[in-house]
Amino acid sequence: MHIMPDTERNASKSEKKVIDSGSLPPDKERRLCAAGIKRDIILIGALIATGLLIVLAVWLFSGKGQIVEVRVDGRVTARYSLSQDMTVRLNGEGGSNLLVISGGEAFVQDADCPDKLCVKTGRISRQGQSVICLPHRLVVEIKGDAPVKTDDIDVFVK
Amino acid sequence: MKEKRRSALIRKTAAFGVLTALALIFSYVEAQVPAFFAFPGMKLGLTNIVVLIALYRMGNVSAMTINLLRIVLVSILFGSFSSFVYSMAGGMLSTAVMMLLKMTGKFRPVTVSIAGGVSHNIGQIIAAMIVMSTSGIVWYLSVLWFTGLLSGALIGVLGSIILSRLPEKLFMGGKI
């Protein structure tokens, strides 16, 4: 009954050595504040910088798309031009989504899926962006104007 | 002596059960309000409070086990296979990152939680890229990176407050 698994015991042993700001004596806590906060700021700063770099990379490498491609269950069912305003009802599996193309942006305005994540995804206009409706197995993706390869079949796992 | 260790083990077992149950409830509550944020995949990550507390009060192995149990239980009870894959990828990566950062002993819980939040979303994006075999969603990382940062910070602040009020020995036995 009193046997503790080895790993667990080691973990709780090493626990003691680790600086733990939760409940330290006041002097130790103060020292941690002075010495430790610098490292924290550096790490958080690095994380923010990396995030900004990612945003920049996404911005740079994904130009405005030209084509709105609709796929149901991995098969391309329709392609529309992004520059032509239109509203079209897409029939996915077990339901439909209302796709609107307007002002060089595409978005799903309405859908009868339970989660409505496709509606909440919002407007897309850049190459590689997509609106996905998993319940209907529907993907709306922005493509560039280069000839589109269609042999990359997407796999959906529900 | 024997008696002491036994009571410590009993206390730890009880704390383990309570924390697992709490993580489960947080997951469930959060699943009930899926849409109060603008972007899909954006969550507050309430369960991360539990993982954070387990990490600092019960150790690495316990934190990992509680999170693992939570993911498996939630998926069996209310989830689907795909939600299991996503939570597994996110949960395991973030717990691993948080464990490693905590083990260096150089960062405070808030920072550990922020790194956990970001890595959780990285894990989910990677899983989504594999499951849907498309790299097209990688742009979405730019959004989820910052939502992860933000929710990690919020959870980290909350968790630190709770940690500073929880007696250190509460889950490990010994005098409170």
Smallest CA–CA distance from B160 into chain A, residue:
A22
Same domain? For A81 and A133 the reply is yes
How far apart CA A101 and CA A40 sit, in angstroms, is 45
Do A132 and A77 fall within a single domain? yes
- The whole-angstrom separation of Cα B72 and Cα B79 is 9
- Which CATH number characterizes residue A89's domain? 2.60.320.10
Express as a percent the part of chain B with pLDDT over 70: 87
- Per residue in B83-95, pLDDT (tens digit) is 788 889 999 999 9
- Taking the C-alpha atoms of residue B28 and residue B22, their distance in angstroms, rounded to an integer, is 10
Of A61, A83, A98, which residue sits at a domain end? Answer: A61
Is A129 within 8 Å of B34 when comparing Cβ atoms?
no
Nearest residue, CB atoms, B164 vs list A22, A62, A158: A22
Is the same domain home to A31 and A73?
no
Supply the range of the domain harboring residue A130: 67-143
**Contact flag A39-B107 (C-beta cutoff 8 Å):** yes
CA-based torsion, B34, A116, A60, A69: positive or negative: positive
CATH code, B2-165 = 1.10.1760.20
Query: Residue A157 corresponds to which tokens in the numbers above?
Result: 């796992």
| Domain co-membership, A73 together with A122 | yes
Number of domains in chain A: 2
The answer to whether residue A110 neighbours chain B at the CB level (below 8 Å) is no
Q: Is residue A156 part of a domain?
A: no
- pLDDT by residue (tens digit) across B27-48? 888 877 755 444 555 677 888 9
Interface test with B, best of A7, A40, A41, A121 (most B CBs within 10 A): A40
Are both A94 and A33 inside the same structural domain? no
ipTM value: 0.78
State whether A51 and B142 contact (CB < 8 Å): yes
Chain A residue whose CA is closest to B161: A22
